[in-house]
Structure 1
Amino acid sequence: MGSTTALVTLYFLLPLDRSSTWSAVTMLVIGLVIFIGLVAFQVRSIIRSPFPGLRAVEALATSVPLFLLLFASTYVVMAAMSADNFDGSLTRTGALYFAVTVFSTVGFGDITAKSDGARLVVTGQMIADLVVLGLAIKIIMGAVSRRRQPGASGAQPPEGIH
Structure 2
Amino acid sequence: MERNAARRRRRVVAGHTLRSVTWAVLITAFYYLTPLDHGFGVATVVSLVIGLGLFGWLVGWQVAAVTRAEYPRLRAMEALATAVPLFLVLFSATYYLLAGGVPGSFSESLNRTDALYFTVTVFATVGFGDIVPITGVGRVLTTLQMVADLIVVGVIAKVLFGAVQIGVRRRGTPEGGDS
Tell me, yes or no, whether TM beats 0.5: yes
Distance 1:95 1:63 in 2: 18
Runs of 4+ deviating beyond 3 Å: none
**Count of aligned positions:** 154
TM alignment of 1:30-69, pairs within 5 A:
30-69=50-89
Q: Tell me, which stretches of 5 or more residues in structure 2 are unaligned? A: 1-20, 175-179
1:100-147 C-alpha deviation (Å, 9 max, x unpaired): 000000024210000001100000000000000000010001100111
Q: 1:84: how far off?
A: 1.5
1:14 pairs, out of 34, 37, 57, with 34
TM alignment of 1:36-115, pairs within 5 A:
36-115=56-135
- Checking the alignment, whether the CA contact within 8 Å between 2:32 and 2:112 is kept in structure 1 is yes
- Checking the alignment, whether the CA contact within 8 Å between 1:47 and 1:144 is kept in structure 2 is yes
Q: Tell me, which stretches of 5 or more residues in structure 1 are unaligned? A: 158-162
RMSD: 1.6
Secondary structure, counterpart of 1:50 in structure 2: coil
1:25 pairs, out of 35, 42, 45, with 45
Q: Percent identity?
A: 46
TM-score by length of 1: 0.90
Distance 2:100 2:34 in 1: 13
Distance 1:36 1:116 in 2: 26
1:70-107 C-alpha deviation (Å, 9 max, x unpaired): 00000000001011211111010000000000000002
TM-score by length of 2: 0.82
